[in-house]
Homo-oligomer: A and B are copies of this chain.
Amino acid sequence: MRPSARKLDELREVQIEINAMAHAEGSCLIKMGGTHVLCSASLEEKTPPFLKNTGLGWVTAEYGMLPRATHSRTKREAASGKQSGRTQEIQRLIGRSLRAGIDRAALGERQIVIDCDVIQADGGTRCASITGGWVALRLAVNRLLKAGAISSDPILDNVAAISCGIYGGQPVLDLDYAEDSVAGTDGNFVMTGKGRLIEVQMSAEGNSFAQDELMELLKLAKLGSAALVAAQNKALGGKV
């Protein structure tokens, strides 16, 4: 029995509210149960220096968490003077995942910065950030297309992410904090709208795992990812 009484392959309730931040070129508030993340896309009309004169664009991401998004207060990274290794690992993952879903030549020499800020945390914040970050990116690119700044759509496919893990000896989908904090093996799968893989990150801090378990988790991830892609498209209305 899962703490939330969900079935093994059941996602938490997903809500995606678009245009949640007035100033951003694209934004949404994504809720996966008790995990809430504000995602914004900021368009900059120049690339980072290493891409100058290559004709290629760039998508990058930054991740943060409000100090009291968590059960007990977490020290503010701005006050402690540096981003933790965990934060850096997560924002690198978000950026890499979103870049894998975009044709950087079609984007042209501009940069889109995705900011994912966790307002409330209950497990799976990096996956929610990727899924919501893609919606913000989609909206910012729509604006570029509408304005005629680019002629063909650089977005190749939806990108969504979901966590899976072995909880109580059983493979489960979309771990919340109560599950995540005790699962021996868990991981994150980033997938495209067509069900292809972008990132697989499975870790066993406590117990090693077998190839069969990896396969079962992958099966769950496909289910979850398809549902998230549907939620993305529904939130965007006819806007994709």
Interface: A81 (CB within 8 A): yes
Interface: A232 (CB within 8 A): no
Q: Find residues 17-33 in chain A having any chain B CB closer than 8 Å to their own CB.
A: 21-24, 27
| Minimal beta-carbon separation of A161 from chain B (angstroms) | 13
Known: A23-B71, A68-B21, A208-B100. A85 touches B76 (CB 8 A): no
Interface size class on chain A is: 35 or more
In Å, the complex CA distance between A24 and B72 comes to 8
User: A77: nearest residue on chain B (CB-CB)?
Assistant: B78
User: A197: nearest residue on chain B (CB-CB)?
Assistant: B209
Q: Find residues 92-126 in chain A having any chain B CB closer than 8 Å to their own CB.
A: 92, 96, 99-101, 113, 115, 117, 119-120
Interface: A3 (CB within 8 A): no
Interface: A8 (CB within 8 A): no
In Å, the complex CA distance between A81 and B80 comes to 8
What would 4 more interface pairs be, CB under 8 Å, given A21-B69, A64-B66, A197-B209? A64-B76, A81-B81, A82-B82, A96-B203
In Å, the complex CA distance between A209 and B226 comes to 16
Q: Chain A: residues with CB nearer than 8 A to chain B? A: 21-24, 27, 34, 38, 40, 42, 44, 62, 64, 66-73, 76-79, 81-83, 85-89, 91-92, 96, 99-101, 113, 115, 117, 119-120, 157, 187, 191-192, 196-211, 214, 218
Chain B residues whose CB sits within 8 angstroms of the CB of A198 once the complex forms: 203-204, 208-209
Contact of A200 with B218 in the complex, beta carbons under 8 Å: no
In Å, the complex CA distance between A115 and B101 comes to 36
User: A86: nearest residue on chain B (CB-CB)?
Assistant: B92
The quantity of this chain's copies bound in the complex is 6
Contact of A120 with B196 in the complex, beta carbons under 8 Å: no
Contact of A27 with B68 in the complex, beta carbons under 8 Å: yes
User: A24: nearest residue on chain B (CB-CB)?
Assistant: B68
Contact of B89 with A85 in the complex, beta carbons under 8 Å: yes
| Minimal beta-carbon separation of A56 from chain B (angstroms) | 12
In Å, the complex CA distance between A79 and B64 comes to 10
In Å, the complex CA distance between A27 and B67 comes to 12
Contact of B200 with A119 in the complex, beta carbons under 8 Å: no
